[in-house]
Chains A and B, each alone.
Chain A
């Protein structure tokens, strides 16, 4: 084989453009063609490196001609189940995701030279409810199939993919199911959600477990799947787990518990006011949370992610301005402690201002003197 010719969809987005750039730098790749319905911006263009760009809507038959003319043998559908830029664009997203994937699959089915197909899916296909097991493996059937939203699209897309794999058994089909992708560069509903400041709405009395994938790891996984020989679905998630509230705390923000009805209203209000906004589906999906079993990714596919969930989130948080500074919390703590004269001061500075807030501070000095400590 002279060298692979790879088609990458969704190159206006981070994942597609980075992947196209990484592929174009490899010697065994002859050509990389990035397609998207819109023109990539300067940053995406830069990430694409030497990859070519073809402006083509994957919903149109034009995509079939691109695949045929260029004799593409590897198709990477990185924009399937892409998260909508805003919830208002929901209908358009569904159209792009589902209809676009159907058109792309139809084009691939006709193209005899296509040998490899990688379609990005999402862990949202597992749904997530109180009746589901805590950890999902690839073979697990969810008890609650998502009935609407991007999760439903992903379920439909995977259904079409199974049909395609049946009709074209000679094509290797790899379907990575990604947890939420996070990092300093990507912009998803989740990153916008964590960017709300200082209060981040959460569901009253609920706390979801979640897993994250670092953006660099996501690109790496797509690359390895495009070039490797792994087929079938594979879970992709950073090791470890964070709860939603824990993550909000780590982002230096304050969780604000809200009733399920009001949280959707708030999301709409924020979007209307163009402050930030988040999709209600996002929050609803995070009510129960889901954790993936990534044994297959590690042992069968042989990919070790560089970032754990905690590390990926920490890298993302580095790009945010915190509203609650950990150093300030530490200062208050040590201030309270030194005010009561406890033996183990925690922070470095005394924080006398915080000491004035101490509920026990000035009122009970005698007890302190038992330990022979001086009261400040």
Chain B
């Protein structure tokens, strides 16, 4: 299995500072995180260079001159197509502030466990940008996603290209064993599709499969709390008949959707905070711990409680959901 260590993006040997380039983090508090780096999305100097990069990218796509790993992660595609629009949302729309990036190890396997919310899993996308752009090693987080994602045309291949794979223990264990940074949302649909009035209240953490995967590989669990995603599409109701007809877990009714049609797809510009907590070690439990349901449940609860507490703290810190 190959693990794509992102070196400096290809064909970018130019000055990273450019008047046309948006600063990676303009928030003063982001500097306090001391890990945010503005050198990441080093865009080339001028538009001829951007054009040259774009053309080179198109040429690589037309001739198939790129490589993917066993899970389908396509670094070239992710950096050139997936991340740029998400980066705009991250920086301009949600003004995401990322804290505690030093808790993510520079190398080796680790499991990031985050809360899930927002009707549409935008938090997964923002988490990807946060780690990819602002971690000193620019590690690509490998997201675990539901089978519904991979069942959906277009979205399925896209999720694989962006580094996602099916949320199942064999895949998680394989990625962790290969020293990848895996992130998971154990609440699943229960979290992302919960009503607005239950915002920031963590749902059940599944069966704790993520804990046993981390225990088996002895990698640290990094709790991650995401504040802001709850407000992007406040879920007021659900149309179960439509959901059943479309084969979806829920059919959302938000203040703008389906009322305004396609305009309802525009997320509300809430203010986001993403915090990575202290890593929880799993290599001290000894062999067989992954098979011990008590250890798994306790650890799962501990992670859940940690995320819940930091959510409350971050909510206070943020203040107003949109202007905070």
Instruction: List residues of A whose CB falls within 8 A of some B CB.
Output: 130-135, 137, 140, 203-207, 209, 240-243, 245-250, 288-289, 291, 293, 310, 324, 326, 329-330, 333, 336-337, 340-344, 346, 360, 367-368, 370-371, 373
Contact = CB atoms under 8 A, between A and B. Distances in A.
A342 B147 contact: no
Interface in B20-63: 46-49, 51-52, 55-56, 58-59, 61-63
A341 B74 CA distance: 30
A130 B151 contact: yes
A330 B171 CA distance: 38
A134 B157 contact: no
B68 A209 contact: yes
Contact of A344 (B49, B61, B62): B49
30 contacts: A130-B149, A131-B166, A133-B165, A133-B171, A134-B166, A140-B170, A205-B154, A205-B157, A207-B157, A209-B70, A209-B71, A240-B2, A240-B70, A241-B70, A242-B64, A243-B72, A247-B64, A288-B150, A291-B70, A291-B71, A333-B56, A336-B51, A337-B55, A341-B48, A342-B49, A346-B55, A360-B51, A367-B47, A367-B48, A371-B48
B69 interface: yes
A133 B166 contact: yes
Interface residues of B, number: 44
A124 B59 CA distance: 33
Given A360-B51, A371-B48, A131 B64 contact: no
B153 A206 contact: yes
Contact of B68 (A133, A135, A140, A246): A246
A333 B59 contact: yes
B226 to A, nearest CB: 25
| Among B51, B59, B171, residue most surrounded by chain A Cβ atoms (within 10 Å) | B59
Given A134-B71, A209-B160, A250-B63, A340 B51 contact: yes
A326 B60 CA distance: 9
Given A134-B165, A337-B55, A344-B49, A209 B72 contact: yes
B4 interface: no
Closest 5 CB pairs of A and B: A205-B153, A249-B64, A342-B48, A250-B64, A130-B150
Contacts of B70: 134-135, 209, 240-241, 291
Contacts of A133: 165-166, 168, 170-171, 174
A207 B70 CA distance: 14
A324 B62 contact: yes
Contacts of B17: none
A297 to B, nearest CB: 14
B52 A370 contact: no
A137 B173 CA distance: 13
Interface in B221-250: none
